Amino acid sequence: MKVLSDKQVKAFLNADLSKKSLLNTYHPIMLKLLHDFKNTPESVPPRTVRSSNTIPSLTHLFMPCNAPDNAGIKLITGGPTNTEKGLGLVGATLIVDAATGLMEGLVNAKNLTAFRTALATSVGMVRAIDPNRKDLEQIMLPSIASFGVGLQSYWHIKLALTLYPGHIKTVKVVNRSLGGAENLAQELSKEYPEIDFKAYSWQGDLDGEVISSDCSIIFGCTPSTESIILEKFINKDEQYKTFIGLIGSYKPHMIELDLQFIIDNYKNDERKPKFIVDSSEHTLAEAGELIQSGLGEDQVLELTELKDIPDEEITTTKGNITVSKVVGLSLMDIAFGKHILQNSENGTFIEDF
């Protein structure tokens, strides 16, 4: 059995990260596992969510997977006290041989979770804004914004910078506290000194133009219970494409994107544009944006269906905006955890476990 620490997972992903690897290796893996899940949805049983027996309470998530090629379980814990301690979500992914049950590896879940979620978002993102278009500068604005300062935001920003090299000039990090936004901006600026990183707090009187005026990509990476990505933050110039990737809300009462914006541009639009999702079943059951706005199965399109529908208008609003909602599946953790186990030269081996 092989054990990989969070530091080792992050090191492997950073070393392996490139536009080519994302488009030619990681995206195909993601689409294959989602296709397999669509054919055998029973391979991902409902996750178990429990409150801890501590005060204040944390949330424990137990996420099993029993696919033909990928079996195991992900255990993850999070909550306000972990956030205050700077821990965020913590846990591990246990991977077993699907045929025998023998343990193959244990992978720290922190960076693995954030990477696989950002990866799923990026599949929809490249559909909305093709990074290989020759006229990219004419349809993509030079800035992106990310709400949140955890690892999810970190990896969403990194994948965007990797997929659109040279096109993104400014990254705007937005957080409840300005200090948190400044910390992430400083961390990323060390890795990307050529990019202008700016930090903002949404608690202050944040001018919508600060965010919307030149952003074609906006990420929502916060477990917010109220809309924080307001309509005034969204680009209004229809000449440019806008992609909004949401991953923060994983319970029905959580929401990141302006609810009225969703109702006006999706539910009440006679064209009935669709949200891009990783799993229609799971997002419709868990995502506050879909539940609170009353969107149904007829207004979601799974990532695996994108290649069969060349008409981009089906996922685009009248304002040239595409929205993606990813909740994540344990199958993603097992599959990419296995990929890292098999390809990383690092790790601790335990014989005869």
Of residues 157, 139, 158, the one with CA closest to residue 148:
157
The predicted pLDDT at position 309 comes to: 84
Say yes or no to pLDDT of 53 above 90.
no
The predicted pLDDT at position 209 comes to: 67
Which amino acid is residue 10, in one-letter code? K
Least confident of 28-37, 202-211, 249-258: 202-211
Annotate 275-295 with DSSP letters as a single string.
Answer: EEES-HHHHHHH-HHHHHHT-
Is 320 in the same domain as 336?
no
Sheet-wide strand order for 59-66: 48-51, 59-66, 71-78, 90-96, 103-108, 2-4, 348-349
The predicted pLDDT at position 28 comes to: 96
The predicted pLDDT at position 208 comes to: 66
Is 154 in the same domain as 106?
no
| Burial tier of 25 (Cβ tally within 10 Å: 0-12, 13-18, 19+) | middle
Do the bridges between strand 321-325 and strand 170-175 make them parallel or antiparallel, or are there none, so unpaired? unpaired
The predicted pLDDT at position 170 comes to: 97
Task: For 67-77, write each residue's pLDDT tens digit.
Answer: 989 999 999 99
Is 68 in the same domain as 200?
no
Do the bridges between strand 103-108 and strand 2-4 make them parallel or antiparallel, or are there none, so unpaired? parallel
CA–CA distance, 308 with 33 (Å, rounded to integer)? 17
Confidence of residue 204 (pLDDT cuts 50, 70, 90): low
Give the phi and the psi of residue 88 in degrees, each rounded to 5: 65, -145
Is 161 in the same domain as 189?
yes
CATH number at residue 100: 3.30.1780.10
Give the phi and the psi of residue 224 in degrees, each rounded to 5: -80, 150
The predicted pLDDT at position 210 comes to: 74
> Domain tally for the chain?
2
Is 19 in the same domain as 140?
no
Least confident of 86-90, 115-119, 166-170, 325-329: 86-90
Is 103 in the same domain as 243?
no
CATH number at residue 316: 3.40.50.720
Is 266 in the same domain as 320?
yes
Is 157 in the same domain as 283?
yes
In the chain, the percentage of residues whose pLDDT exceeds 90 is 81
Say yes or no to pLDDT of 213 above 80.
no
Q: What is the pTM (predicted TM-score) of this model?
A: 0.94
Is 147 in the same domain as 233?
yes
Task: For 27-44, write each residue's pLDDT tens digit.
Answer: 999 999 999 999 999 999
Range 289-309 average pLDDT: 94
**Residue given tokens 């990019």 in the structure block:** 195
Task: For 265-296, write each residue's pLDDT tens digit.
Answer: 999 999 999 999 999 999 999 999 999 999 99
Range 182-194 average pLDDT: 97
Range 149-154 average pLDDT: 95
Of 85 and 113, which is predicted with more confidence? 113
The predicted pLDDT at position 220 comes to: 97
Is 220 in the same domain as 104?
no
Is 152 in the same domain as 288?
yes
Say yes or no to pLDDT of 205 above 60.
no
Is 153 in the same domain as 301?
yes
| Structural domain of 97 | 2-112+331-349
The predicted pLDDT at position 43 comes to: 93
